Structure 1
Amino acid sequence: MSEQLVIREAVPKDAQQLLNFLNRVSQESDFIEHDSTRHVTKADEELSLDAIYNSAHDELIIAKLGPDIIGFSRLEKLSVTESEYGIVVEKAFWNQGVGSYLTEDILAYAKESPIKKVSLEVYKNNPAAIHLYQKHGFTTRSERKNTIIMEKMV
C-alpha cells in the first residue's frame, strides 16, 4: 500500500461509495452476505449512516485507501449493553493489517460507549477471521453447525 490508509467514522456522504464497495466485495467471498442490500438506494443508505452516526450503540468505521473504501467495521445494537460486530475487507487487502486497524478502532469506540459486550458470528471455515478475533480478545461462546459465536467484554 503506497497510499495512506485512512480509518475513520462513516458519514452520510459516504453512502454511494459504501454501496459500491459492498456490491464489489460481495462477489469476492462466500463469507459476505449482501443480497439484502442490493436494492438499497443512496438516499436510504444516507439515512442509515446518519442514524448510525448519531447512535450511542451503533458505529460504522471505514478504511479508505486513496479515494476508495477498502473495508469497514460495524457495531449494531442488540441490547442496552450488547452490540454485534461485523467486518468486511476487500480481498486484495486481506492479511495486510486492515482488519486489525478496523477492529482496534471499533473496540475503542465500544469502550467509550454504553456497550459492555461485543459479540459476533463467524463461519467455522474462515480461520483468518477467527484468528483476527482471537488476537483481539474474542472468545468462543457457542457453536452452531457452520458458525462460531464469539464475544468480548469491553
Structure 2
Amino acid sequence: PRTQDTDRDTDAVVDVAAALRLSVTRLARQLRQQSDAGLTPTQLSALAAIERHGPLSPGALAEHERVAAPTVTRVTTYLAEQGLVDRMDDPDDRRAALLVVTRAGRDVLRRARTRKDAWLSARVARLDAEQVATLAAALDALEALTELDDEPPEAARR
C-alpha cells in the first residue's frame, strides 16, 4: 500500500528528475555549440564512440549510439570521406569491417574536448565555492545515472 510519505517521496524524485533533465539538456546544447569541429552532434558522438570503444563494427556502433543502421552508414561514410575514420577487415569475420579512428579523427576530438573543457571550466570558475563543492559532490550520482540500465523501477511504471 502506498502511503502519503511514499507519494511525497515519488513527487520529489519526479521534480528533481524534471529539473535535472532541463539543466542537463541546456548544458549539453551549450557544450555542443562549443565544439567547433565542423561536424554535426551525431557525427561527433559517433567519432567519440568509435574512439572510446573501437575498433567497432557498424552494428556495434549503432547499438552504442542507439541509432538505426542507415544512420550509422551515412555518418561513418562521411567520417571516412573526411579522413576521420578508417575501415579495416574484421579479423574474426573477413566479410565484415571494423571502424577505427584515424590520427586526424583523434585530433578533431582532442580539439573539440579542449574547447568544451575550457568553456565549461570558465563557467564553473564563475560559481561560488559552495556551488563548486555541490557540483563536485553530485558527480558520482550523475555518473551512476549514465550507467543504469533502461529498465524503469517498479514504482515509476505505475
TM-score between both structures, scaled by the size of structure 2: 0.28
Q: Which structure shows the bigger proportion of residues in strand conformation? A: 1
